[in-house]
Structure 1
Amino acid sequence: MEKTALHAKIGLFILLIILLVSCSAIKRVPDGRQLLVKSTILVDSMAPKDPRVPTLPILQPNQRLLTIPLRLHIYNLARPNRDSMYLKWMQEHPEGLKRRNAILSEKQTIGLGQSLVDFNNWLKRTGETPTLIEETAIEKSKERLKAFYWSQGWFNTEVDHNITDSKRAKRAGIEYYVTRHQPYKIDSLRTQITTPVIDSLYQLVKAGSILKKEEQYFTPNINTERDRLNSYFRNHGAFHMEKENIRFEGDTVNTGHKATITLIIKDREIKEGDSSFTVPYKIHKISEVNIIPDYQNVSGSKEADTLKYEDYNIFRYGKRKYRKSTLTDAIFFHKGDVYRDIDRDRTYKRITELQSFSYPTIKYVEDPRDSTGTDLIANVLLTSKKKFEFTYGVETTHSNIQAIGVGLNTSLLIRNLFRGSELLDISFRGNIGASTNAATRNSRFFDLQELGADARLSFPRLFLPFDVNHLIPKYMSPSSNLSVGYFSQINIGLDKQSLNSALTYNWRQTPTKSTRLDLINAQYVRNLDPGNFFNVYRSSYGSVNDLANDLNINDPTYVNTSGNLTVPDGTNAFITDAIAGNLGANDEQREIIRNIRERRNRLSQNNLIISSSYSWTRNNREGIYDDEFSRFNMRIEAAGNVLSGVSSLAGINKNDANTRRVFGVEYSQYVKTEIDYVKHWQLFNKHVFAIRAFGGIAIPYGNSNNIPFIRSFFAGGPNDNRAWQAYELGPGKTGGLNDFNEANMKLAFNAEYRFPISGAFKGAVFADVGNIYNVLDSEDDPDAIFDSIRDLEYLALGTGIGLRYDFGFFVLRFDMGFKTYNPALEENRRWLKEFKISRSVLNVGINYPF
């Protein structure tokens, strides 16, 4: 049945393609005009190396999908004037209209006509109008090509073109011939700076100029140098300097392809009414700093409560909501400082990070007490946000675990809790759902429950008993987060309860480099129903049940009337007796059963993890629309060392398994490290090539011989190797024997080529390489263990295609992955044996995977 449906879909798709292709591409091309089918550019008789060059001509051939101008064909399906045609038909065919009205009402007839018009307009919007060759657009394209190479120093560039007729009717191509000639190089750099103080500042930084003698003229370098000088002047007191006042002029007349560059900075121009005059620039300093924390209360208020603190003036028009230091610590300029843009920008940023104020404003006015006109009064105007903010949301859910679920999420945000701009965020989430219990087969309405509560207290500083401002100054935006949370599940999996808490520090060294330090991260996980293990992990149950059938176990102590092991009593008794040698199992079978028991014990045991971690990130992405950037993250975590020392000093003895327990739980002890690198290249016209490389390993030691499930690695899924489902891949070449496969080492490498299709629709082709392995832990299956470089041959390869729709603020993603190289198969069957639609995996995700 599934194959029939699949064949029907494929047949429908092929029929659609045939219909579109059969529609002539020149259907909407008027007589005497030509459709542009090819655009070629030759630069000095060679294809251009710069990928931007082909995008410069205004005329571009219609977009193609697999050599087919799909959007053009869609456009051609539309009627040019569907609305007027329908009205004309109604007027010219009254009998036909009468017959239609006998079947449909007049209103329905009009609605049908409007539906046809709407569909016709949709075809026009979705399609693409034919690109027709026209001389005006060709000349503009030639000017753009000349301007592009002129900006790179080829001032004598010539551009010619030729229209090449196609063998097919009404079709033609355009060839552009770019001759650049000899480029111009910078001969010397002169200055015309009218204001002496600006000239003095320039002399201090001219050695660092971007413009170098004998280098080819390059307009982006001119712009970079202008930005550099403007930033330097404004960060050294030139408050009224504007980038537009910094100009560069080049003299290329009779210079032998040399360009003499002149830097021109005239005096400041002041306009008063219809007249204007110039004055020299001045170096400004700050004479007063006024902070008004409740600026919205100024109008109609009584005289302000004025307070001097350090070198700041604080004006309050209401009760004192904030401590003095809270306000002044966010200000990066002081009385007597020379004006600097960087101080103003850092102040804006820091005030915004406090999350206590809306739309901060900093105004600089000339001090009327200063006769020289160099003193500025800085007024910091702040408007407080509401102290309390309450949000809530209701949602319904459906999954393979619950048939229906209803959830409630609430959050209470309290600002400025201790008058230091602290934030307390208290959230609650709850969900009740209905399902069928896998063990009893009894259906109960709303038998599933999930409850959770979290509280997070944030400080806009490092919450430490000692001062570290000399190491981490306030311009690095230091912050601290103290959090505690509780989560509970009933009738879901093993019915977990978890309690977690953390103390985290964050700071940002530069706009691209940031650090996170988890001084302490504690998590306690308790499984309330470990006896439900074999109902949750069905692969493990299937393995042990098959062994019981192989051993012809029919004793009611172990099996039910159907001959299957009961859960949990039958499975537990069978495992115990089989390992003890009471049921006739051979050595190989007992080893399999021992492995299953070990996995059950590990996944159903309670966990106590107290760790510390350090994470460093470098990310030069400038926004969500930046398509060329790199991101590097390194993280290291160590767990159990504090508990190991405390338990040893407390004299806690080791048990038979050579481990210690704290609060009745064997605490975890391990070291874990991860490295993640992402790089994006924008090739041309929204075409992006992206790669990712990830490596991680967690080594247990001391009180542990394996890594807790919640700290392990897994492979597969929409953000990993997309040819396998999440937790399905690995470890090694084992082939994903369990329901949830995990290990303590992971390697992953991804590459993806992204391209536009039509409007908000984007496409992608990708390749994902990776796997998980066990190393230096309790695993003894050689197929799962990484013990030599040769085990890299078990890295799985998945390839595929993707379709995405960009909503602007997020991307809806569909990726289809194919198992190209599956290390779990026999050695001679690993390549391409599962490269088929029936074995593919469809992933749905939000935003890009990396």
Structure 2
Amino acid sequence: MKKLLSKIALIFVTGSIIYSCSSVKKVPEGTQLLTKNTLLVNEKTIKDERIESLLSQKPNSKLPLIGFPLRLSMYNMAKDKPDSLYYAWLERKPNRRENLAKFLSNKQVDRLSESFVVSGFSNFLKRTGEAPVIIDDKRIQSSRNRLKAYYTFNLGYFDVQVNTKRDTVGKKKGSVTYEIITGTPSVYDTISHSIESSALEPLYKAIEPQSLIKKGNRFNAEELSNERARITNHFRNNGVYHFQVNHVKYDIDTLNNDHRVNVNVNIENRYIKDGDTLSKTPFRIYTINEVNIFTVNASKKDINRIQDSVSYRDYQIYSDGKLNYKPKALTNAVFIQKGDLFSDKNRTLTTRSLGNLTVFNAPNIEYTEDPDDENGLITNIYLVPRKKFSWTPSIDFTHSNIQDFGITGSMSVAWRNVFKGAEILQFGARGNIGSSRDMANPNNVFFNIAEYGGDIRLTFPRIVFPLDTRRIIKKEMLPTTQMSFGLTNQRNIGLDKENFTGVIAYNWQPRSDLTTRFDLANVQFVRNLNVGNYFNVYGSSYSTLNDLAQIYNIDPLNVDSNSNLTFDGAVNFIDQVVAGQPGGLTPEDREYQIIRSIGERRKRLIENNLIIASSYSFTKNTRVGFTDNNFYILRAKIETAGNVASLIAKQVDAPLSENGNETLLGVEYAQYVKPEADFIKHWDFGKKNVLAIRTFAGIAIPYGNANSIPFSRSYFGGGANDNRGWQAYSLGPGRSGAINDFNEANLKLAFSAEYRFNFFGQLNGALFADAGNIWNVFDNVDDPDYTFNGMKSLQDIALGTGIGFRYDFNFFVFRIDLGYKTYNPAKEMSERWFRDINLSRTVLNFGINYPF
């Protein structure tokens, strides 16, 4: 460890010396490189991105933590006028051009000056790098003026003073200090209003008590802007069709000297243009007189070819052909109603709701003034249907630890508006053929493994349920119902499986930042077809068992000619040890416990599974827009399984299994409760610097008919989206050391932190730390190395750290993470820290988009 620290210190010192000499390489004589801006507000140093953004000059960007100006260094590495240097090199020896021309033409010799070798690399360094930021007095003055304007007009410090000072901090280097003396802030005093349109007066008075501008509060331009938006939203949601945010103006009186500001909210009549003249006219409150819905094939111009129409609940529905939609399906998605006041909110809800149907392109909603009623509006909604049928094929070539080469093909067919209620019926089929040297291949064919399957999904844009749920789940929540059924079949893959799934689920959005899902029924039936292949798939379990058999096996029928256990012999060996036959092993012996554990795990994994579950989950996401990096996401879910199956089993008087458990369809059904929560938080520090954290906790508790959790519902640790110091399924449980091929358990705790930053251009980096583990608890595992035993088990939390690289392609992010086992609970206490931080032990993870 001391040698490592010495090397790090040497590298740091050497790098610092090189950097100090090279950073000013291209700074002209008599000028200074800007190294730092300091903001002093009333003699206190502040760091505020919003204030710093006002400065006209900022130092060259640096890598976080180490503070190295990578892009400046890249720029300094570029050669100035590399083409001129090339020609100077050509002329340095009289015969150099002639010698080159013997292999290349004179034209090609000249074109070499534009090649990547000569000029391209330097041009790349200049484009990607950053030119040195030279301190400019004019820009300092510009920054000073911006700061003064901000503190004056945005924060109400009308007698603010801003002073600047330049300091030399090294050869050709300097810093700038901005000293801001705010003085006394101004506060609101008298707040009044003047409204020319009499129709707006009662609307304004209704919301005046909730005004953001209150007497005694400090003057704040952002607050004034928010109040302007609040007034505008209220007016436009209460019938004032022509009102815009720029119709709210403020008359601000700051002439007195006691730092008090009088504000008058001034709403004048709107201006309309009549020819070349402008005239004022009062605002009016508009009511919706008509709502027309047009389903047209291309654009609103097709309304001249209307062939079908129908009236339904005060709506007029038109079509340029036969109307293919039930009127109720269209009007249920429309929140604009005849007789209501004009409302922006209703228009937005209508747009979202019609888009949620996914059978139309983006809707177009237009309002026109009713020629027969000066206070009336006619609403025209134009809907362009998407294609009724769509077909999406795909093909992919794969390689994995299961198959050396594989070809995967899939196709899906969507049938929109299948029952004329905007429903969508989707059929999917997929198949895979592959080649594997590890699988049985008696006929010596190249493609010796296969998987195929299909599914069907039906989506309704409403809640489909025997009881009326509209009072609880309103149509404003954009509810949908999904019913899906699928079947897959595997051959020569693992234990070979048949997997049937069926889901009935409901989704709705109580708020724009909150989504909810309720799975009424989530059924999964898994049937293993080749359980004799178990020890071929789970090779680590077989190796452990075979090693022990060399010591304790006394039955020659269990082994082959090389004294290795056969697969059938491995099963017999387990049974014999548990029965107390070979080697004198007793339940107190560690080897006995290992062999019994392998046997119990085998029985659990070869069992057919029947899971009939229900679940409720919600997700709160405060993110506003793709560029928002100050947000949090909270997900919570609770799932229960086995209760419905238990009722059915009792009603049909299903027989008990050989273990004494209840069965359904001849299979022991799973029974458990599984709560889990996931929290993600992002902080944006500006300049593409983001800190992101994630916390996860989940537990699946078996009860009733089960003493363990099905493999598909258990937790695992490691992988590109979990603890990146370990590969997927290779962490835990507990301090056991991941001795199985696929390690899983029913309790999981995880915490991750990642600091993201920009190298240059679209290339970003990240420093990360992932902590967590999985354990067994409340199930049939009692080995203390595997189980969670209170607070002392927290010392088994693994820590993985590392660095990541991300390239942003705009529509997705490609990610590479290099993880290291910083704290490994599988080792002895004295060897857990830092023993695996070595380039040869790097865990490489690839991923698409960010891990959280």
On whether the aligned pair clears a TM of 0.5, the verdict is: yes
510-519 vs 307-316, which moves further? 307-316
Which residue pairs with 1:494 in the alignment?
A: 495
Matches within 5 A, 1:292-303: 292-294=294-296, 296=298, 299=302, 302=305
Cα distance in 2, alignment partners of residues 819 and 747 from structure 1:
17
Write the mapping of 1:726-741 to structure 2, written as runs, cut at 5 A: 726-741=728-743
Query: Within the alignment, does 1:69 sit opposite 2:69 as a pair?
Result: yes
Q: Give the structure 1 partner of residue 428 of structure 2.
A: 427
Kindly indicate whether residue 479 of structure 2 is the aligned counterpart of residue 478 of structure 1. Answer: yes
| Cα distance, 1:188 vs structure 2 | 2.6
| 1:571 aligned onto 2:570 | yes
Aligned twin of 1:167: 170
How is 1:90-101 mapped onto 2 (pairs within 5 angstroms)? 95-101=95-101
Partner of 1:676: 678
Residue 562 of structure 2 corresponds to residue 562 of structure 1: yes
Residues paired across the two proteins, number: 834
8 Å Cα contact 1:295-1:383 kept in structure 2: yes
CA distance in structure 2 between the aligned counterparts of 1:107 and 1:600, rounded to whole angstroms: 74
1:107 and 1:605 map into 2 onto residues whose CA distance is 76
SS in 2 for 1:445: coil
Equivalent residue number for residue 543 of structure 1: 544
Cα 1:202–1:301 change in 2 (3 A) is closer
Give, in whole Å, the separation in 2 of the partners of 1:105 and 1:648: 92
- Paired position in structure 1 for 2:4: none
CA apart distance, 1:616: 1.5
Q: 1:55–1:685: 8 Å Cα contact kept in structure 2?
A: no
Cα–Cα, structure 1 residues 462 and 75, in superposed 2: closer, same or farther, change >3 Å? Answer: same
Partner of 2:30: 32
SS at match of 2:516: strand
Question: What is the letter of the counterpart of residue 332 of structure 1?
Answer: F
1:288–1:378 Cα contact (<8 Å) kept? yes
Instruction: Say whether 1:462 aligns with 2:463.
Output: yes
- After TM superposition, the structure 1 = structure 2 runs for residues 345-744 of structure 1, keeping only pairs within 5 Å, are 345-370=348-373, 373-437=374-438, 444-551=445-552, 555=556, 557-566=557-566, 568-587=567-586, 588=589, 589-744=591-746
CA contact (8 A) 2:577 2:585 kept: no
CA distance in structure 2 between the aligned counterparts of 1:472 and 1:799, rounded to whole angstroms: 45
Moved more, 330-339 or 792-801: 792-801
Whole-angstrom CA distance in 1 between matches of 2:239 and 2:694? 44
Higher mean C-alpha displacement, 756-765 vs 687-696: 756-765
Corresponding residue for 1:181? 183
Letter in 2 for 1:114: E
Q: How far apart, CA to CA, are the structure 2 residues paired with 1:561 and 1:800?
A: 48
Q: 1:69 offset after TM fit, Å?
A: 2.2
| Equivalent residue number for residue 78 of structure 2 | 78
Q: Please tell me whether the aligned partners of residues 42 and 181 of structure 2 are also in contact (alpha carbons under 8 angstroms).
A: yes
Instruction: Determine if contact 2:415/2:424 at 8 Å carries over to the other structure.
Output: yes
Pick which of 86-95 and 771-780 moved more.
86-95
| 1:757-800 deviations in Å (ceiling 9; x for gaps) | 22222222222221111111111212211232322222222222
Q: Distance in 2 between matches of 1:696 and 1:607?
A: 21
Task: Specify the code of the residue in structure 2 equivalent to 1:755.
Answer: F
1:219-234 matches, cutoff 5 A: 219-234=221-236
2:5 aligned residue: none
Q: Is the 8 A contact 2:433 2:450 kept in 1?
A: yes
Tell me how far 1:34 sits from its aligned partner: 1.8
Tell me how far 1:564 sits from its aligned partner.
2.0
Q: 1:611 to 1:307 in 2, by over 3 A?
A: same
1:570 maps to a residue whose letter is G
- The aligned counterpart of 1:156 is 159
Task: Return closer, same or farther for 1:244/1:707 CA change in 2, 3 Å cut-off.
Answer: same
Cα shift at 1:352 = 0.8
**How far apart are the structure 2 equivalents of 1:258 and 1:441?**
94
CA apart distance, 1:814 = 2.1
Q: Residues of 2 paired with 1:454 and 1:415: CA distance?
A: 17
Find the counterpart in structure 1 of residue 242 from structure 2. Answer: 240
Question: Counterparts of 1:436 and 1:328 in 2: how far apart (Å)?
Answer: 59
> Following TM superposition, by how much is the alpha carbon of 1:560 offset from its aligned partner in structure 2, in angstroms?
2.8
Deviation at 1:462, TM superposition (A): 0.6
* Change over 3 Å in CA distance of 1:308–1:454 after alignment to 2: same
C-alpha deviation, 1:484, in angstroms: 0.8
Q: Distance in 1 between matches of 2:515 and 2:553?
A: 62
CA distance in 2, matches of 1:281, 1:405: 69
Whole-angstrom distance in 2 between the partners of 1:299 and 1:53: 53
* Farther-moved stretch of structure 1 (149-158 vs 375-384): 149-158
- The answer on whether the counterparts of 1:20 and 1:70 sit within 8 Å (CA) in structure 2 is no
Deviations 1:63-100 (A, max 9, x none): 22334322212112223333455467668977422211
Please tell me the residue identity of whatever aligns with 2:573. F
Structure 1 CA distance, aligned partners of 2:303 and 2:353? 29
What amino acid does structure 1 have at the position aligned with 2:570?
A: T
Once the two structures are overlaid, the 10-residue window that deviates more, 296-305 or 379-388, is: 296-305
Distance, in Å, in 1 between the alignment partners of 2:193 and 2:829 is 72
Partner of 1:785: 787
List aligned pairs for 1:189-338, cutoff 5 A: 189-294=191-296, 296=298, 299=302, 302=305, 304-338=307-341
Secondary structure of the structure 2 residue equivalent to 1:357: coil
2: CA distance, partners of 1:415 / 1:655: 46
Partner AA of 1:703 in structure 2: N
TM-score of the two chains, using structure 1 as the length reference: 0.94
- Deviation for aligned residue 1:441: 10
Which runs of 5 or more residues in structure 2 are unaligned? 1-7
Conserved 8 A contact 2:657-2:668: no
Tell me, in whole angstroms, the C-alpha distance in 2 between the residues paired with 1:274 and 1:85.
64
Name the CA distance, whole Å, in 2 between partners of 1:631 and 1:744.
24
Identity of aligned residues (%): 44
* Deviations, residues 318-374 of structure 1 (Å, cap 9, x unaligned): 01211111111111111111111111111111111111111311111111112xx11
Instruction: Give the Cα separation in 1 of the matches to 2:584 and 2:840.
Output: 38
Using the TM superposition, name which of 732-741 and 678-687 deviates more: 678-687
Task: For 1:705 and 1:300, locate their aligned partners in 2 and report how far apart those are by CA, in whole Å.
Answer: 66
Tell me if structure 2 keeps the 8 A contact 1:20–1:73: no
Contact 1:497 1:526 in 2 (8 A): yes
TM-score (norm 2): 0.94
Contact 2:528 2:606 in 1 (8 A): yes
Matched position secondary structure for 2:272: strand
Match of 1:58 in 2: 56
Name the CA distance, whole Å, in 1 between partners of 2:417 and 2:280: 48
What CA deviation, in whole Å up to 9, does each residue of 1:216-261 have, x standing for no partner?
1222211211111110000000000001111223222114111212
In structure 1, C-alpha distance between the alignment counterparts of 2:308 and 2:452, rounded to whole Å: 48
Offset at residue 139 of structure 1 (A)? 1.7
Q: CA deviation at 1:17?
A: 7.1
- Report the Cα distance in structure 2 between the residues aligned to 1:246 and 1:143, rounded to whole angstroms: 28
The residue that corresponds to 2:149 in the other structure is: 147
Instruction: Give 1:842 deviation, angstroms.
Output: 2.3
AA aligned opposite 1:466 = L
Q: Could you tell me which runs of 5 or more consecutive residues in structure 1 were left unpaired when the two chains were aligned.
A: 1-9
Shift of 1:14: 11
Distance 1:240 1:122 in 2: 52
